[in-house]
Structure 1
Amino acid sequence: MTTPEFQIRRATVADVPTILSLIRELADFERLSHECVATEALLEESLFGPRPGAEVVIGQLGSEVVGFALFFPNFSTFLGRPGLYLEDLFVRPKYRGQGYGEHLLRHLASICVERDYGRLEWSVLDWNQRAIDFYKSLGAQPMDEWTVFRVTGDALTKLGSQ
């Protein structure tokens, strides 16, 4: 019996239902389901519309989806070059610990190299020690001296309308 090989491919508009399912699984894992309001229509417009806000790659074994990564370019004024921000990396629980997350991260790093980007960065929840240890094992360094700030919802509307 042969086993299917792991492959990473660029998502297409046909993948939107799968992407939304993975996002919802991630939200459950991160205990943030109450914040997940994405819909297929929003994702189709945001990822595949006239002004895509992000890119998605999907990792799969044969036809079975293992996980995904959603990312977009950012910019480092200090480097004077763009970088890549990884918004979400998710591997389904039954596939964890088998190297698929590492393959996805290596794929993103190769995109950075190919595009001549200066860095690859992302955030991780403080309680997710397994992920923190994994990222450190790959050479990633925590940016402990930085605090993420966010403005959303009514506060964003208020700030933007003044």
Structure 2
Amino acid sequence: MEPTSTTAFQILPATEQDIPRVYELIVELAVYEKLKHQVVGTVEELINFSFGPNKVAHVHVGWVDGKIIGYSLHFLNFSTFLCKPGIYLEDIYIQPEYRAKGYGKKMLLHLCHIAKQNNYGRVEWQVLNWNEPSIKFYESLGAVPMKEWTQYRLVDETLTKAAEKFLEL
């Protein structure tokens, strides 16, 4: 969907046609985070998991001056303690030349609005420890770090080995 205004910042659900641009922004974010080497997915995979029969990702795009200048990508998780779903924000990104205009804040608050409209229990995300500007921004909104939790991950070869162990059971 195209924005209705060419100058005001607007947040819209991404369309399939927007995904190649979103992918470009994902690469920009990875470069900023010094993690470009980890970008191994494709535009086609992003389209499949955002619009296909196995949809799990929800993408919103931020428009200014008739172009996409940022995006957010989230998926739903579930809290057994709250007995409610929540939003897990995987990425939020605004191009550097458009920062400090409130666009990132507006995108994050938009997700909070979606969560409240749907009676979800929380919105959560991760931030790299060195990313002080983002940490200060999140804390200015009242977000608190979850220091008592440690995240674990199985990926690539470790995920393959764990899946193979299941088959041996």
TM bucket by the smaller chain?
Answer: over 0.9
Instruction: Give, in whole Å, the separation in 1 of the partners of 2:102 and 2:10.
Output: 12
Shift of 1:128: 0.1
CA shift digits 1:89-126 (9 cap, x unpaired): 11101011110000001100010011110000000000
Matched residue SS, 2:124:
strand
Aligned match of 1:8: 11
Structure 2 CA distance for aligned equivalents of residues 3 and 20 of structure 1: 22
Amino acid at match of 2:79: S
In the alignment, is the contact (CA less than 8 A) between 1:57 and 1:68 conserved in 2? yes
Residue 151 (structure 2) aligns with: 148
Question: Is 1:88 matched up with 2:84?
Answer: no
What does residue 100 of structure 1 align with? 103
1:39-58 matches, within 5 Å, as 39-58=42-61
For the residues of structure 2 that align with 1:14 and 1:65, how far apart are their CA atoms? 12
Structure-2 residue corresponding to 1:157: 160
- Please tell me the residue identity of whatever aligns with 1:20: Y
Percent identity, aligned pairs only?
47
Say whether the 8 Å CA contact 2:19–2:43 is kept in structure 1: yes
What is the alpha-carbon distance in structure 2 between the residues aligned to residue 149 and residue 39 of structure 1?
24
Provide the aligned C-alpha RMSD in A: 1.2
Matching residue within 134, 139, 144 for 2:142? 139
1:130 counterpart residue number? 133
The amino acid across from 1:133 in the alignment is: K
Q: Is the 8 A contact 1:4 1:62 kept in 2?
A: yes
Report the 3-state secondary structure (helix = DSSP H, G, I; strand = E; otherwise coil) of the residue aligned with 1:161: helix
The size of the alignment, in residue pairs, is: 161
Q: Secondary structure at the match of 2:112?
A: helix
Return the offset for 1:130: 0.5
Q: What is the rounded CA distance, in whole Å, between the counterparts of 1:3 and 1:15 in structure 2? A: 16
Q: Which runs of 4+ in 1 moved over 4 A?
A: none
Query: Which segments of 5 or more consecutive residues in structure 2 lack a partner in the other structure?
Result: none
Counterpart for residue 70 of structure 2: 67
Q: Which range is displaced more, 59-68 or 119-128?
A: 59-68
TM superposition score normalised by structure 2: 0.92
Contact 2:6 2:66 in 1 (8 A): no
Gaps of 5+ in 1: none
Aligned to 1:78: 81
Are 1:20 and 1:38, in contact at CA under 8 Å, matched by a contact in 2?
A: no
